A = this chain, B = another copy of it.
């Protein structure tokens, strides 16, 4: 059993890591830290985790593997000494996602706390970057929105069937905003309402652009041919789940029917345990609590567009489940270890 720790267990992603690790056959959660809650029992903060007899510490104890669920900046600071000490880490924060520290500074408003580690980090979208994940000791776990968008778009991009005008319209449950109190997330405000946000630029946009550009056919593509991505997140009145509806023009003669698109996607994800092609539009409820991503590409022949809908649980495939999948890959375990429970439905 690998002795595992969670830095900042007190947010939703941290708690979700603890939930999933409890049934992991090869890992054991032995240490959790949290700042304001240090000294409290884990079960006191999270009654659903009363199965654990752990006290939240100021710092992590002795562990063989660490997850960081700290906010950005604080995470890089906490993770850096662990990485230097040889402890493999999956960082759930945004700190190691953008490879360019200047872009980090631009979007996050501060200088990167550990730029020297950026080159050692692998982007942890396991399905698309498996070899790098396996050989790295520091994983940048993807953002929840990029996770849903990249799994939806990767086959189309890599197979060259779409042009660069990409629009991603995402709908997220409120847990994506974290456990911080704010009037916008007050039940009476968020319930029975839907709204767009981040229209002037959400921090997940550069991450999506970076990854789409990297996989775009023709390395070193000129500026003019790079994907032109618009990403609009929406807040919808549910707790868990992200549905991303992605639009892109079909390359001439690329595919001519939804069936053809589906076949191409199915081939692309063949053998992947957590990505499933579906013939009907997916619902986020079908993946709630599970690490599965459902993908549904269709072709709109009238407008010659590809429309791909993907559904994930933002706290599992979009955070804690993806992180454990990365841990499994790093440790040479079956990627499905501890992640086999079906979705909780309805």
Are B281 and A197 interface neighbours, CB within 8 A? yes
Q: A285 within 8 Å of B by Cβ?
A: yes
Contact bitstring A24-50, B, C-beta under 8 A = 1, else 0: 000000000000000000000011111
A320 to chain B, nearest CB (A): 11
- What residues of chain B lie closer than 8 Å to A49, measured between beta carbons? 342
Would you call the interface of chain A mostly helix, strand, loop, or mixed? mixed
Q: How many copies are assembled? A: 4
Contact of A171 among B194, B240, B285 (CB under 8 A): B194
Q: Which of A15-23, A70-78, A92-100, A210-218 contacts B (4 or more CB under 8 A)?
A: A15-23
Contact bitstring A320-346, B, C-beta under 8 A = 1, else 0: 000000000000000000001111111
- What residues of chain B lie closer than 8 Å to A141, measured between beta carbons? none
- Assuming A174-B188, A234-B245, is B344 touching A283 (CB within 8 A)? no
- What residues of chain B lie closer than 8 Å to A116, measured between beta carbons? none
Q: A189 within 8 Å of B by Cβ?
A: yes
Are A199 and B238 interface neighbours, CB within 8 A? no
A323 to chain B, nearest CB (A): 17
Q: A7 within 8 Å of B by Cβ?
A: no
Contact bitstring A166-190, B, C-beta under 8 A = 1, else 0: 0101010111010101110111111
The 8 A-B residue pairs with the shortest CB-CB distance, nearest first, are A193-B285, A48-B343, A195-B283, A174-B187, A188-B346, A187-B190, A169-B169, A48-B345
Additional pairs, 18, CB under 8 Å, beyond known A165-B165, A185-B188, A192-B241: A12-B346, A19-B345, A22-B342, A46-B345, A47-B294, A171-B234, A171-B236, A174-B187, A181-B181, A185-B186, A187-B237, A191-B237, A191-B238, A193-B288, A195-B243, A195-B309, A196-B296, A239-B346
Q: List 26 A-B contacts (CB under 8 A).
A: A19-B342, A19-B345, A23-B23, A23-B340, A46-B345, A47-B278, A48-B345, A50-B276, A167-B247, A169-B247, A171-B234, A181-B181, A181-B183, A189-B285, A191-B192, A191-B237, A192-B238, A192-B239, A192-B284, A192-B285, A192-B288, A193-B238, A193-B286, A195-B309, A195-B311, A196-B281
Residue positions of A touching B, CB distance < 8 A: 12, 15, 18-19, 22-23, 46-51, 165, 167, 169, 171, 173-175, 177, 179, 181-183, 185-197, 199-201, 228-230, 232, 234, 236-241, 243, 245, 247, 249, 258, 276, 278, 280-290, 294, 296, 298, 300, 302-305, 307, 309, 311, 340-346
